[in-house]
Structure 1
Amino acid sequence: MAAPERRFPILVVGATGAFGQRIAELLARGEAIELVVAGRTRDALEAKAAALSTSSGHPVRVAVLDANVATAADVAALGVRLVINASGPYEAGSTTLARAAIAAGCHSIDLADSRAFVAGFGALDEAARAAGVLAVTGASSVPGLSSAVVAALRGGFATVDAIDIAISPGNAFDPGVATVASVLGGVGQPVGMLLDWQWRTVHGWQGLGRGSFGSAGRRWLGYVDVPDLDLFAREDARLGTVRFRAGLEVLPFHLGLWAASWLVRAGLIGSLAPLAPGLLAIKRALARLGSDRGGMFVELRGRDAEGHPKAVRWLLEAGSGHGPYVPALTSVALARRLASGAETRRGAMACFGLVGLDVILAEAAGLDIKCSTHDTAHEP
């Protein structure tokens, strides 16, 4: 009788955080995954492991690990094949955990949406290739999911002039201090953005406008700095506009950031990031405002094969508080491909068109997440 095949061991760092816990929950669904949850607080990790063990019927291991100081020996001691870093924040050059995983001969995936972090990640490529592993950054809503959407829509166009992406979570979402600090750190800061065939300098959370998110309603939006702004422009030199915006559901919150952005832009405040704990406390106290519904859209504008103007919008609507699973979907899909042997690429790279849209959305089975695509009016 053949011995049962060993399950693929995956370490999730930041497994009690806003997105890490969702990654762990989705991975625990699979029979082929052996899960190790890691972070800095053992009590919270033990509780998470116990809950996942009960729901999955498989034991879940616990490791106390700090992503900022982890070594190759720390990773190797756990006997894992893949490390997923969901701990954040992802600051330029802070690749300690990815380097430790590579040195230990492990694949690595992170959820970075920092433009500078993703831009510099290629510095790990030579080491990753030498170790025979895949190191991926940005396996999140952007650029992982957004690039998969664009790849799926692009076939209907002869040329694409503009890519417009926007995200707005429901106010019920509790993002944690690190995520809030990352968002606040971009408020009022200069952002290089391709608009109307010219690189222009805009500022975070300015460019005030509105966008529709289906059942989540119309939301106010502002500019945000993300890796997509570079990646799409580099992929297609014919693009005239690559725009990314985000918005808060509760209007006073969004307008508050917009107003503060002018203070940062004027140099009166260096950064709003230090205010993260206080502002998050206010948000939590007012959690009853807004809803548990969020959304994301990706719109392409250009011309079809006959030269006629064409515009297509892909819309994701998330309800029942399931929006925070969206940033987790791409990393989980890529992890399963590595576990099954379907993913054979090696080296260090951004998660830009690495995973197909259908493969990513398959991970949303059973969640209150629905997607639709439709043509929209477009003027030349």
Structure 2
Amino acid sequence: MRVLILGGYGNFGQIIAQHLHKIAGIQLIIAGRNLVKAQQFAGKINAEAIQLDANQTDLANILKQQQINLLISTAGPFQGQNYAVAKAAIEANSHYIDLADGREFVCGINILHEQAQQQNVLVCAGASSVPGLSSAVINELLPAFSELRIIEIGISTSEKIPGKSTIEGMLAYCGKPIKQWVDGVWQNRFGWQNLSTHQFSEPVGKRSVAACDVPDLSLFPEYYKGVNTVTFSAGTGLKLTHYGTWFFSWLIRFGIIRKPQKYAAILHKNSLILERFGDGNSGMYIQLTGLDKNKKPLKLSWELIASANDGVNIPCLSSVALTRKLLTDKLVARGAMSSMGLLTLDEYLAELAGLRITTKLHELYPFS
């Protein structure tokens, strides 16, 4: 399988490539706008390198010439992005996977469903922690419930800063209204506000999290019938970075800052300076509340704890697991869809081998 990673020398692109190049039967092509950077990284993992821009009009032809079987796009931010790359992959009869976290982008990918089915390819948006891993966890725990009422998801990252495009994506909703399904109605929360705390297991401990916008907020109320609340929160392990972003969100909300994305580069640079003060620990939780098979109250909390900055792998492993399934013909889905439900929890956790990452399941009491 010839797999092209668009943005392959970026933060997430490199992590995906480092996982995939260990899998027999895959030939990697590292692609991006800077050919020198692509060649430098490709040389480290015995991969090919080409210069490629997501906006090229001849993208489909290049994919055909390169005989690409799968294109993985890490070229964000996906907020406000169109589906040109996915369309080019379909035209080239290539599977397509991206790491999009943009709510509208992921939820709207199904407009390409018929085209993708006609070409017998998979077009998968949002192959990341959410909804790829989050839906896998929920589907694993769902049989314990006769009724599922509340889904609460949260992520607290380590000090390791993602790429500038990821920060641009966050700034797209920071300080702006986010619709969340709460108590059976759509309510507005504001990006990186509505602060709360969550007690993770050690060594992460207590962390502050804030409201963030992800595809799950739209997908889960529709898919998991009867659920009356779906929330998502996120934060960073460094308090200065976390509360600094919270303060920045108020400047946006009050209209003092009108074009927040233009500050992405300086925020990224300053955050990199602060990395030295972090502890390398990160965590994710998914809490499900409802009734068990005997109609008694039940609350389960699934937790992932990562140390030594291995948590940066988590958003990338959905695409790795999906690629493995495509390679072995274990993924039969065709058409355009989100990553929701395409992986089992076991398939995802199998990709954690060798990483300093553990998972736990807690049944929470008292609860009424």
Q: TM-score, normalised by structure 2?
A: 0.96
CA shift at 1:218, angstroms? Answer: 1.4
What is residue 89 of structure 1 aligned with on the other side? 77
Tell me, which stretches of 5 or more residues in structure 1 are unaligned?
1-7, 54-59
1:216 and 1:294 in contact (8 A); partners too:
yes
What is residue 18 of structure 2 aligned with on the other side? 25
**Percent of pairs with identical residues:** 37
1:68 and 1:94 in contact (8 A); partners too:
no
Q: Distance in 2 between matches of 1:379 and 1:16?
A: 47
- The DSSP-based 3-state class of the residue aligned with 2:72 is strand
Residue type at the aligned position of 2:152: D
Q: Distance in 2 between matches of 1:376 and 1:47?
A: 49
- The DSSP-based 3-state class of the residue aligned with 2:45 is helix
Q: Distance in 1 between matches of 2:263 and 2:366?
A: 41
What is residue 2 of structure 2 aligned with on the other side? 9
What is residue 200 of structure 2 aligned with on the other side? 213
What is residue 348 of structure 2 aligned with on the other side? 360
What is residue 159 of structure 1 aligned with on the other side? 147
- Deviations 1:82-140, CA, capped at 9 Å, x for gaps: 10001211134521111100000000000111101012111111110111111000110
Q: Is 1:198 aligned to residue 185 of structure 2?
A: yes
Q: Is 1:345 aligned to residue 338 of structure 2?
A: no
Q: Is 1:226 aligned to residue 214 of structure 2?
A: yes
CA shift at 1:158, angstroms? Answer: 0.9
Q: Is 1:142 aligned to residue 130 of structure 2?
A: yes
1:138 and 1:144 in contact (8 A); partners too:
yes
Q: Is 1:279 aligned to residue 272 of structure 2?
A: no
Tell me, which stretches of 5 or more residues in structure 2 are unaligned?
none
CA shift at 1:174, angstroms? Answer: 2.8
2:284 and 2:305 in contact (8 A); partners too:
yes
Residue type at the aligned position of 1:363: E
What is residue 123 of structure 1 aligned with on the other side? 111
- Deviations 1:145-176, CA, capped at 9 Å, x for gaps: 111111111111111111100111111x1312
Q: Are the structure 2 counterparts of residues 38 and 155 from structure 1 closer, same or farther at C-alpha, using a change threshold of 3 Å?
A: same
CA shift at 1:252, angstroms? Answer: 2.2
- The DSSP-based 3-state class of the residue aligned with 1:46 is helix
Mapping 1:218-297, distance limit 5 Å:
218-297=206-285
Residue type at the aligned position of 1:277: A
2:79 and 2:172 in contact (8 A); partners too:
no
CA shift at 1:212, angstroms? Answer: 2.3
1:301 and 1:378 in contact (8 A); partners too:
no
CA shift at 1:377, angstroms? Answer: 2.4
What is residue 102 of structure 1 aligned with on the other side? 90
Q: Are the structure 2 counterparts of residues 63 and 213 from structure 1 closer, same or farther at C-alpha, using a change threshold of 3 Å?
A: farther
Residue number among 183, 187, 210 corresponding to 2:170 in the alignment: 183
Residue type at the aligned position of 1:357: L
CA shift at 1:378, angstroms? Answer: 5.0
Which moved further from structure 2: 261-270 or 179-188? 261-270
CA shift at 1:274, angstroms? Answer: 1.2
Q: Distance in 1 between matches of 2:147 and 2:115?
A: 37
Q: Distance in 1 between matches of 2:357 and 2:31?
A: 27
What is residue 28 of structure 2 aligned with on the other side? 35
- Deviations 1:277-315, CA, capped at 9 Å, x for gaps: 111111111211122111111110111011111111111
CA shift at 1:331, angstroms? Answer: 0.6
The number of equivalent residue pairs is 366
1:102 and 1:131 in contact (8 A); partners too:
yes
What is residue 170 of structure 1 aligned with on the other side? 158
Q: Distance in 2 between matches of 1:377 and 1:290?
A: 32
Q: Distance in 2 between matches of 1:377 and 1:265?
A: 38
Q: Is 1:46 aligned to residue 39 of structure 2?
A: yes
1:151 and 1:353 in contact (8 A); partners too:
yes
What is residue 3 of structure 1 aligned with on the other side? none
Q: Distance in 2 between matches of 1:292 and 1:160?
A: 34
Residue type at the aligned position of 2:176: Q
Q: Distance in 2 between matches of 1:47 and 1:213?
A: 39
- The DSSP-based 3-state class of the residue aligned with 2:89 is helix
